Amino acid sequence: MSKILVTKPFQAPFAEVSAEIKKAWDASWLTNNGPLLRQLEVQMRDALGANDCAVVGNGTIALQIALRAVEASGEIITTPFSYVATTTSIIWEQATPVFVDIESKTFNIDPAKIEAAITPKTTTILATHVFGVPCDVEAIEAIAKRHDLKVIYDAAHCFGTKYKGQSILNYGDISTLSMHATKLFHSVEGGAVFVNDTEAQKIDAITGEVSPLRFSIDRLRNFGHYGPEKFEGIGINGKNSELHAAVGLVNLRYIDEILADRKRQHEKYDGLLAELALGKPEISENVEWNQSYYPVVFQSQEEALAVLKALEKEQVFARRYFYPALNTLKYIMEPGDTPVAAQVSKSILCLPLYFGLENQQIARICADVVATVQQFRAQN
Among 10, 83, 194, 215, contact with ligand T4K (rule: CB under 6 A)? 83
Number of residues in contact with ligand T4K under rule CB under 6 A: 23
Residue closest to ligand T4K, measured at CB: 59
Site mask, ligand T4K, residues 103-142, x = CB under 6 A? -------------------------x--------------
3-state helix, strand, coil in the chain (%, to 5): 40, 15, 40
| Full DSSP string of 243-289 | HHHHHHHHHHTTHHHHHHHHHHHHHHHHHHHGGG--B-----TTEE-
Tell me whether residue 13 or residue 227 sits nearer to ligand T4K (CB atom): 13
Q: What is the largest CA-CA distance in the chain?
A: 73
d(CA 220, CA 192): 13
Is the Cα torsion angle 12, 243, 47, 172 positive or negative in sign? positive
DSSP β-bridge partners for residue 231: 225
Minimum distance, C-beta of residue 135 to ligand T4K, in the bound complex (Å): 12
Question: Can you tell me whether residue 191 is helix, strand or coil?
Answer: strand
* Interaction of residue 266 with ligand T4K, rule CB under 6 A: no
* Interaction of residue 251 with ligand T4K, rule CB under 6 A: no
Among 123, 124, 178, 265, contact with ligand T4K (rule: CB under 6 A)? 178
Minimum distance, C-beta of residue 279 to ligand T4K, in the bound complex (Å): 19
Stretch that binds ligand T4K, among 19-27, 33-41, 54-62, 201-209 (CB under 6 A): 54-62
* Interaction of residue 79 with ligand T4K, rule CB under 6 A: no
Q: What's the order of all strands across the beta sheet hosting 75-78? A: 54-56, 191-195, 174-178, 150-154, 122-128, 75-78, 96-99
Site mask, ligand T4K, residues 186-225, x = CB under 6 A? -----x----------------------------------
Tell me whether residue 188 or residue 278 sits nearer to ligand T4K (CB atom): 188
CB 63 within 8 A of CB 176: yes
Among 317, 320, 324, 363, contact with ligand T4K (rule: CB under 6 A)? 317
DSSP state of 376: H
Question: Which residue from 261, 265, 270, 262 is spatially nearest to 360, judged by alpha carbons?
Answer: 265
Minimum distance, C-beta of residue 117 to ligand T4K, in the bound complex (Å): 20
Burial (CB count <10 Å: 0-12, 13-18, 19+), residue 166: middle
Minimum distance, C-beta of residue 156 to ligand T4K, in the bound complex (Å): 3
Minimum distance, C-beta of residue 180 to ligand T4K, in the bound complex (Å): 3
| Full DSSP string of 284-338 | -TTEE------EEE-SSHHHHHHHHHHHHHTTEE-B-TT-S-GGGSTT-S-----
* Interaction of residue 181 with ligand T4K, rule CB under 6 A: yes
* Interaction of residue 7 with ligand T4K, rule CB under 6 A: yes
Residues that bind ligand T4K in the complex, under the rule CB under 6 A:
5-9, 58-60, 82-83, 85-86, 128, 154, 156-157, 178, 180-182, 191, 317, 321
